Amino acid sequence: MRAATPAVDTTIDWLLDPACPPVQRLALKTLVRPPAGTTTIRRLERTLTGDPWVAPLLGGAWREARGGRTRVHPYSKWRGAHWRVVALAELDIGREIPGAATALAEAVDDTLAWLLSPGRSRAAKAIDGRVRMCASMEGNALLAMSRLGFGDDERIATLATRLVDWQWPDGGWNCDRRPEAHHSSANETWAPIRGLAAYRQFAVDDQLRAAIDEAVARGAGFILRHRVIRSERTGEVMNPRVAWLRWPAYWHYGLLPGLLALADAGRIGDPAARGAVDALEAKRCPDDTWQPDGRWWSQPGVRGGASTELVDWGADGEARMLSLRALQVLLAAGRDISR
């Protein structure tokens, strides 16, 4: 866990603090923008594989088994290959980072072997006209692999095709296998939108590209009809949890994940999103940062801990990533982030 750092003049100054190189690099790339920080970015990239956040994610998690050690299941929360590539994509640790390419390729292969397995393919059967699968799995994987430098891998086109085929009539996705379930799940919808939007530039087939555009538009429409976090039926906040700020989000929906999905879909400026953007801005603390109000993970080494992490993100690290993402959303929405 990194130590917290003293207060600085602005939120961006804090995010540019060299004490946290992954966040410093992300802030330079997305908030300051090259060429001003290009030299620093290249210098940082030469050291990232040894960073206390990045090194465990590239190294992976193992378990003792008959015949020796084996890697944990790709979906093991939150240490499996699937979650490692998602976290690495959040940190923008692509295969262009010196020393990362081999570990990334192995994690991608492990994840795709699971997602493209015959068993998972057979499970994708329609019930009452709707395919009821956890599309957040394909969505998160598609997003991560597109961003990590694997967008031209023919295997991930299958993930995009699945998401297009699995989309429900209301524009979202859901894994609820009850025949009477007819409304999509926000938890299963935000990641597919982001994954399809990220993969779109790599789709070589015109028909698939057009289908992706339609699916992203329909998915964004689903979120906008809910004004991001509100019930489409009552107008009330759909669940108290969606107003929480937590990082990493993994598959959990909320205010920030919904806004990130709209930003990726190019719909963050829609009037129906304005109230949610206001709500995110209102969560800015007096010190001009965004702070976590809980977490979905347990620290490494916690015995019996549910969803144990490989990385101890720490409250300071969570706040840095939440603040970075919040500023990105506000910037995309045309808001002033200069405070």
DSSP annotation string for 33-88: -TTTTHHHHHHHHTTGGGSTTHHHHHH--EEEETTEEEEPPTTSTTTSHHHHHHHH
- For 257-290, write each residue's pLDDT tens digit: 999 999 999 999 999 999 999 999 999 999 999 9
Do 219 and 171 form a contact (C-beta atoms < 8 A)?
yes
Question: Shortest CA distance to 310 belongs to which of 75, 79, 43, 10?
Answer: 79
User: Do β-strands 68-71 and 130-131 pair in parallel, antiparallel, or remain unpaired?
Assistant: unpaired
Entry pTM: 0.94
| 3 state DSSP class of 127 | strand
Half-sphere exposure of 274 (CA within 13 A, CB side): 3
- For 135-166, write each residue's pLDDT tens digit: 999 999 999 999 999 999 999 999 999 999 99
Give the mean model confidence (pLDDT) for residues 168-196: 97
Max avg pLDDT among 68-77, 235-244, 300-309: 235-244
| Per-residue CA distances from 328 to 34, 51, 54, 124, 290 (Å) | 15, 23, 22, 35, 12
Mean pLDDT of the chain: 93
Give the mean model confidence (pLDDT) for residues 224-252: 96
Report the phi/psi class of residue 21: left, alpha or beta, with left for phi > 0 and alpha for psi in -120 to 50.
alpha
Give the mean model confidence (pLDDT) for residues 63-69: 71
pLDDT value for 318: 98
* Pairwise pLDDT comparison (201 vs 7), residue with the higher score: 201
pLDDT value for 280: 98
Rounded (10°) angle between helices 81-90 and 101-115? 130
Other C-beta atoms lying within 10 Å of the C-beta of residue 171: 21
Question: Which residues contact residue 110 at a Cβ distance below 8 angstroms, ignoring those fewer than 6 apart?
Answer: 71, 74, 81
- For 320-336, write each residue's pLDDT tens digit: 999 999 999 999 999 98
| Residue 83 tokens, joined | 């979650």
Which range, of 10-14, 47-51, 102-106, 248-252, averages the lowest pLDDT?
10-14
Percentage of the chain exceeding pLDDT 70: 94
| Residue 64 tokens, joined | 């003792």
pLDDT of 65 over the 80 cut: no
- For 297-314, write each residue's pLDDT tens digit: 999 987 766 789 999 999
